[in-house]
Amino acid sequence: MSSIEKITIEQITKKNPLLSTFRSIIETSFYRNNVTKINQLSESYHLAKAASGSIVTDLPIYAPEKLGLPSDGKVLVANDGKIVGRTAAARKVIGQPGVDEQLYSGILREAIYNGCNKEFYSCEAIIGLSETFMIKAHLQLPKGFEHSLYAYLLNFQCLTPEYQALYSTSTAYTEGDIYLYADPEWHHPDFPDGLVLIDPEHNVAAVLGLRYFGELKKATLTLAWAIAHRNGFIACHGGLKQYRLADSNYTMAVFGLSGSGKSTITLAEHQHNYAVSVLHDDAFIISKEDGSTVALEPAYFDKTQDYPMKDPGIKYFLTGHNLGVTLDEKNQKVLVTEDIRNNNGRTVKSRFATPNRIDSVSEKLDAVYWIMKDDSLPPIVRIDDPVLAAVFGLTLATKRSTAENVTPETNLDELVIEPFANPFRCYPLAEDYYNFKELFEKQQVTCYILNTGYFNKEKITPDQTLACIELIIDHEDHFIPFGPLTAMSYVPIETLEPTFDDPTYLKKIRTNFERRLHFIQEQRTLMAGYNALPEEAALLIQHLLLELEEQTT
């Protein structure tokens, strides 16, 4: 077995590193009399279908039997209420500076005690789709949230006989199973926006007072990424695809926040000009040993803002989250998508949406693409220095999206830095910096930046972004030096040319580099220096600023 579910009597001691206060509190709750275990995906479907808050549409599920669903299965819809995105401010990671373990363990014990008077369901799923990495996860949810339980078993891999056999022969890790306790109905006067407790060292989490399904998905992935990180992998919040060319394969990874174009790039078929295989568009891991990759989920939790009802992609929808429903001309209940009802409408979309889907890639990665929304950069830039490549990932500049539940005063148009596009990291940032630096140095992975925002006040279109990638795949790219900045080059594109003789443009570049430098420097003191970075990162940015200064003098 990959992860550990059962331990011997002799191992049940305070010295066992698998055990902890939070793990004991959460795991214990799974064995209460008020918890009913759901063993089959089809059983969870029927529970969700019968739930009072569910809508049974007239949209049939594509190839339901292949997924373990009833042959007459329909797309089910459930809606949350006011909050329709992930609440990052609710997360508290045990072990990080300023997080009072004693305080939160008491709150968690009380939360679980208060759940004794209602019925709960539990289920199991597998995180990781290759024998090289598979971890078992257990979820507990109260009655009334059957739709989320069903979505969880669709999004991750339910324990079919096939996967049970694969799991039993997979690589073993000295890690406990993942346990996730969730109570969306929890309330606490000190936490009006809910509370997400993560104990990454012991693979447990609690999601309290939050209904949005994405909280369950990301809490689980947070723990799975932490496990992978401890065991020789690089945790990746991004997409990965492989182009099968005539004489070779080209494997690329793209990293960006929701709304940056990550899924668009990963799932693009390039008008069928290439034979393309897709690993995943959101969660995977890279082996530090050989550069191979593994997907963590079989399905896709996709935004529906770009899917009008007539889009053929709706054929692969399995669920609807925060979506409208209406009657069509045949009196059938169908979806109202495109974020008409609210922002961040979502679906769990089946793996069949990408018929070229694969679960692992044995060949090493060829290239990493950082997706930015940085208006000082042209559509595509190549980074030739491994340290600089890691620094750009470290200071990945982008914008927040409607997928996040943010405070009203948050400016969604403001450029922010999200290192490696992964807000779910629960270990020191420097460790990811060194991991990616090693990827560029030792495995000689090439680094590019894709600006999917604006440049020269012109919106860079998805077609332009994909065309840049195609130039590289076809070996037709002609990179030229990026002005005065060494180790950077770009592909000239008409109307999207940098103007290095324009002081205003140079100031824009300088301002964005200064923002990156400030971010690196402030990590020395934030959270008591928990995310402090090596001096070389700041020195390199300072060197680039010096090169810019010399250009203007």
pLDDT band at residue 269 under the 50/70/90 scheme: confident
* Least reliable range by pLDDT among 251-265, 360-374, 425-439: 251-265
Q: Look up residue 62 and give its amino acid.
A: Y
Q: Tokens standing for 93?
A: 């990671």
Mean pLDDT, residues 367-388 taken together: 95
pLDDT band at residue 401 under the 50/70/90 scheme: low
pLDDT, mean over the chain: 94
Beta bridge partners of 279: none
Helix (H) / strand (E) element for 108: namely: helix 101-114
Mean pLDDT, residues 79-83 taken together: 97
pLDDT band at residue 170 under the 50/70/90 scheme: very high
Q: Cα separation of 271 and 131, whole Å?
A: 33
Q: Using alpha carbons only, what angle is made at residue 263 by residues 466 and 404, rounded to the nearest 5 degrees?
A: 130
* Least reliable range by pLDDT among 97-111, 219-233, 403-417, 507-521: 403-417
Q: Of 354, 353, 352, 311, whose CA–CA distance to 334 is shortest?
A: 311
pLDDT given for residue 495 in this prediction = 86
Tens-place pLDDT, residues 429-457: 999 999 999 999 999 999 999 999 999 88
For 235-287+366-498, CATH number out of 3.90.228.20, 3.20.20.140, 3.40.50.300, 3.90.950.10 equals 3.90.228.20
Tens-place pLDDT, residues 131-143: 999 999 999 999 9
Q: Tokens standing for 399?
A: 């914008």
Q: Of 280, 310, 313, whose CA–CA distance to 297 is shortest?
A: 280
Kindly report each contact of residues 456-464 with a partner whose C-beta sits within 8 Å and lies 24 or more positions away, as own/partner. Answer: 456/495, 456/496, 456/497, 458/495, 458/496, 460/379, 460/496, 462/261, 462/264, 462/265, 462/268, 464/379, 464/493, 464/496
Q: Is the pLDDT of residue 129 over 90?
A: yes
pLDDT given for residue 303 in this prediction = 94
CATH 3.90.228.20 in the chain is located at 235-287+366-498
pLDDT given for residue 415 in this prediction = 75
pLDDT given for residue 406 in this prediction = 57
Tens-place pLDDT, residues 315-337: 999 999 999 999 999 999 999 99
pLDDT given for residue 107 in this prediction = 98
pLDDT given for residue 260 in this prediction = 84
CA-based torsion, 383, 389, 391, 392: positive or negative? positive
Mean pLDDT, residues 548-553 taken together: 76
CATH 3.40.449.10 in the chain is located at 15-232
The CATH class of the 15-232 domain is alpha beta
* Least reliable range by pLDDT among 157-161, 268-272, 516-520: 268-272
Mean pLDDT, residues 372-398 taken together: 94
Give the 3-state secondary structure of residue 392: helix
pLDDT given for residue 172 in this prediction = 96
pLDDT band at residue 411 under the 50/70/90 scheme: low
Q: Look up residue 456 and give its amino acid.
A: N
Give the 3-state secondary structure of residue 285: strand
pLDDT given for residue 117 in this prediction = 93
Q: Is the pLDDT of residue 412 over 60?
A: no
Q: Is the pLDDT of residue 258 over 80?
A: no
Mean pLDDT, residues 44-54 taken together: 98
Mean pLDDT, residues 475-500 taken together: 92
Tens-place pLDDT, residues 147-160: 999 999 999 999 99
Q: Is the pLDDT of residue 237 over 70?
A: yes
Percent pLDDT > 90 in the chain is 89
